[in-house]
Amino acid sequence: MVQPQLIEKLAFVQRHRQEDEATILAHAVQAGVDVLYREALVEAYLLGQAPREQVLQEIRPEALAAVEYQRDVLQRDVAWGINGKSRR
């Protein structure tokens, strides 16, 4: 079942872009696949299944730096929790 909000959003885009529904949906699918691809690529990188250089071709260096920072912080927190050591 299509959500009423989705129909309203689609109608809004149609009015303001003056494009037909099929064109808008094609753009939406492409944009969605692009997002899913980048997410899967980052996940593969974090699992050691994709090279860093490949990820940098798809996302901004700042975004990858943020991902790496979050990974490093999480790894430190897990190590701290396992070892029971104080951070001081």
pLDDT reported for residue 44: 98
**Whole-prediction pTM:** 0.75
Helix axis angle, 21-46 to 61-83, nearest 10°: 40
Q: What is the pLDDT of residues 32-83, one digit of tens each?
A: 999 999 999 999 999 999 999 999 999 999 999 999 999 999 999 999 999 8
Sorted by where each begins, the domain ranges of the chain are 4-83
CA distance 39 to 20: 29
